[in-house]
């Protein structure tokens, strides 16, 4: 009976996946992130005087829908309100001109903002956005001199010691800060009633700013040109900066600060590129569409399911993936000279910014090419070259440690400035290299990778994931890696990891973990189970051959005919701790399908 239910569920998930495949072979699902991008888009439309009424209406309507009955906005369901998100939503709704501060819901938001300290208490990213729009003073927010960009790349503290994601945002932000740029329009709302502190420039900050401004003008000019060129050289064909919506917004402000006209071709092209990132009936702006990621994961997962009638779908998806393997040298080449390109990026429009996770999953999907194509081996070679000196793998580029810079008083600096090794990236890479590239734990890269995982296991037996929530995600990646590398289930780190997953199983048979884990850096249970987190746990236990009632209860949860809205929509993807979380619409299909496929194989083996 159970076997029949598993088969039926697999078929149902397959049908759901195929409904989202386009004619070019790609799978398209929404990458639903926090409201930051929607708020910025509302302001941008008004600021640039663009005739986008229907888009503006949709964005405003969605923001209002997302407001809680208490008046605040939040980042995830069990969040008790987020000041920065609430300020962003409040400011952008007023900027739209469609809502006034007298609106009852805005009054509630105003009360919440004042209760939690006013607009001066928001996070760094929101502070920068408020400064750009004339609501806060630049010097009190940001104190990194423009000449920072002229420090040689080989220096222990340089612009290139930041992660690529941080650099994409810093280049335009530093330009705006240096020029003290802000813009007000007829739509700019008055937020002075939300200011709870003295907004005048403090004397010590004023003196520091004055001293900073006394650098030789020719050196400042060189630094500004370097920042401008950094941006311009990384604009993708759709006009966006590295296919990040947030970086593109800051780039547009930087262009205006440099004297570009509002309707300059590069600015309009950037805006149109942003429009191409909309989803949910054009009511939400994705920060970076997950097309490559979703397509590679689904191709690999459908192959794992072994369904003959899915072969045409996976073949089309793989042709799409081959076309999007990157052939250009990106910033990763700064520290890896002599290594050929071969990675994949996260988004379709990304051509110079590959990442480790997308590359491993694309290579998994294309595993049948390894004996007939040098491109597959180029990908493996690139992947091996990205290993950090500590033995783990980063997200984008190796050995970006952000020495000293990560200690700056900027929110998110410790997590976004360096490109540190993480359990999820290291685990998934080791698992791929062992299971598909046929390396074993005696290979130097595998030995270093598994040693990193063993050293970085938490005392409770878990591993912390960086790009998923959080300890379930990291533990799944680490356990599947250690098993692929040949470690037995009674190996102490494997045994402890298994026990951690067993200990946190919920009464309904599933697993659920709160985004609070990402902030508190310890496991925080969620009050409901989620399909993706349950699938990660079930998959890990299946790979470890942990048969029995506990595993079957997890499978039973995945076999439910339907999930409650909160189970389906809770964000299980992570971006920036305490600031940016993602609901991957694909995850309720991909991970249950993969876990059930591996569970079915386990049953057949037994």
Active-site positions? Answer: 357
Residues 332 and 386: beta-carbon distance below 8 Å: yes
> What is the distance between the alpha carbons of residues 268 and 29, in angstroms, rounded to a whole number?
26
Sequence-distant (≥ 6) Cβ neighbours of residue 80 within 8 angstroms: 74
Q: Number of helices and strands (H, E) in the chain?
A: 25, 5
CA distances from 145 to 64, 211, 219, 343, 416 (A): 39, 10, 12, 34, 20
* CA pair distance 580, 395, nearest whole angstrom: 17
Buried b (16+ CB within 10 A) or exposed e, 151-182: eeeeeeebbbbbbbbbbbbbbbbbbbbbbebb
DSSP assignment string, 552-598: HHHHHHHT-S---HHHHHS--EEEETTTEEEEETTHHHHHHHHHHHH
Residue of 536, 449, 534 lying closest to 486 (CA atoms): 449
> Do residues 359 and 379 make contact, with C-beta atoms less than 8 angstroms apart?
yes
Residues linked to residue 51 through DSSP beta bridges, in sequence order: none
What 146-152 contacts at long range (C-beta under 8 Å, 24+ apart), as own/partner pairs, is 146/174, 146/175, 146/177, 146/178, 146/215, 146/220, 146/223, 146/224, 146/227, 147/215, 147/219, 147/220, 147/223, 148/174, 148/223, 149/174, 149/223, 149/226, 149/227, 149/230, 150/219, 150/222, 150/223, 150/226
- Tokens representing 309 are 């009638």
Secondary structure of residue 184 in the 3-state scheme: coil
**275-306: b or e for each residue (b if 16 or more CB lie within 10 Å)?**
bebbbeeebbbbbbbbbbbbbbbbbbbbbbbe
Sign for the CA dihedral angle at 47, 49, 55, 57 comes to: positive
Enclosing H/E stretch for 285: strand 284-285
Structure tokens that stand for 284 in this block: 């939400």
């Amino acid at each position: 009976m159970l076997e029949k239910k598993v088969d039926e569920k697999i078929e149902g998930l397959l049908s759901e996946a195929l409904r989202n495949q386009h004619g070019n072979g790609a799978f398209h699902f929404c990458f639903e992130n926090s409201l930051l991008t929607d708020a910025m888009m509302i302001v941008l439309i008004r600021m640039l005087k663009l005739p986008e009424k229907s888009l503006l209406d949709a964005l405003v309507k969605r923001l209002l829908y997302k407001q809680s009955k208490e008046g605040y906005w939040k980042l995830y369901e069990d969040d008790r309100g987020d000041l920065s998100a609430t300020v962003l939503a409040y400011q952008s709704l007023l900027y739209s001109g469609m809502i006034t501060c007298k609106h009852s819901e805005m009054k509630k938001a105003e009360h919440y903002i004042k209760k939690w300290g006013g607009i001066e208490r928001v996070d760094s990213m929101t502070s920068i956005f408020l400064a750009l729009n004339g609501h806060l003073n630049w010097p009190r927010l940001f104190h990194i001199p423009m000449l920072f960009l002229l420090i040689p790349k080989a220096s222990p503290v340089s612009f290139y010691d930041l992660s690529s994601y941080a650099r994409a945002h810093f280049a335009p932000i530093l330009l705006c800060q240096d020029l003290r740029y802000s813009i007000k329009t007829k739509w700019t709302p008055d937020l002075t009633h939300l200011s709870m502190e003295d907004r005048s420039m403090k004397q010590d900050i004023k003196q520091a700013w004055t001293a900073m401004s006394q650098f030789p003008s020719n050196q400042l000019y060189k630094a500004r040109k370097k920042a401008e060129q950094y941006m311009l050289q990384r604009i993708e064909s759709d006009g966006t900066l590295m296919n990040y919506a947030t970086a593109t917004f800051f780039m547009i402000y930087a262009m205006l600060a440099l004297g570009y006209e509002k309707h300059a071709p590069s600015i309009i092209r950037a805006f149109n590129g942003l429009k191409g990132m909309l989803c949910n009936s054009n009511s939400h702006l994705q920060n970076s569409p997950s097309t490559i990621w979703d397509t590679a994961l689904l191709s690999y997962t459908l192959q794992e399911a072994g369904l003959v009638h899915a072969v045409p779908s996976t073949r089309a998806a793989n042709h799409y993936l081959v076309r999007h393997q990157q052939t250009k040298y990106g910033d990763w080449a700064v520290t890896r000279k002599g290594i050929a390109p071969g990675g994949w990026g996260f988004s379709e429009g990304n051509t110079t910014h590959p990442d480790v996770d997308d590359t491993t999953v694309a290579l998994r999907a294309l595993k049948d090419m390894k004996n007939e194509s040098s491109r597959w081996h180029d990908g493996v070679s690139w992947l091996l070259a990205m290993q950090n000196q500590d033995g783990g793998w980063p997200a984008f580029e190796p050995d970006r440690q952000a020495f000293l810079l990560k200690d700056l008083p900027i929110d998110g600096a410790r997590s976004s400035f360096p490109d540190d090794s993480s359990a999820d990236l290291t685990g998934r890479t080791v698992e791929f290299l062992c299971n598909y590239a046929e390396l074993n734990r005696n290979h130097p890269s595998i030995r270093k990778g598994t040693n990193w995982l063993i050293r970085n296991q938490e005392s409770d037996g878990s591993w912390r994931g960086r790009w998923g929530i959080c300890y379930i995600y990291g533990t799944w990646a680490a356990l599947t890696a250690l098993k692929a590398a040949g470690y037995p289930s009674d190996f102490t780190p494997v045994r402890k990891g298994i026990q951690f997953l067993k200990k946190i199983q919920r009464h309904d048979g599933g697993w659920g973990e709160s985004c609070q884990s990402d902030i508190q850096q310890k496991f925080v249970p969620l009050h409901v189970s989620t399909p993706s987190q349950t699938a990660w746990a079930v998959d890990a236990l299946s790979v470890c051959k942990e048969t029995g009632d506990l595993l079957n209860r997890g499978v039973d949860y995945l076999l439910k005919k339907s999930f409650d809205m909160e189970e389906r929509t809770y964000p299980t993807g992570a971006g920036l701790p305490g600031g940016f979380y993602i609901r991957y619409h694909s995850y309720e299909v991909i991970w249950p399908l993969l876990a059930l496929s591996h569970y079915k194989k386990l049953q057949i083996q037994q």
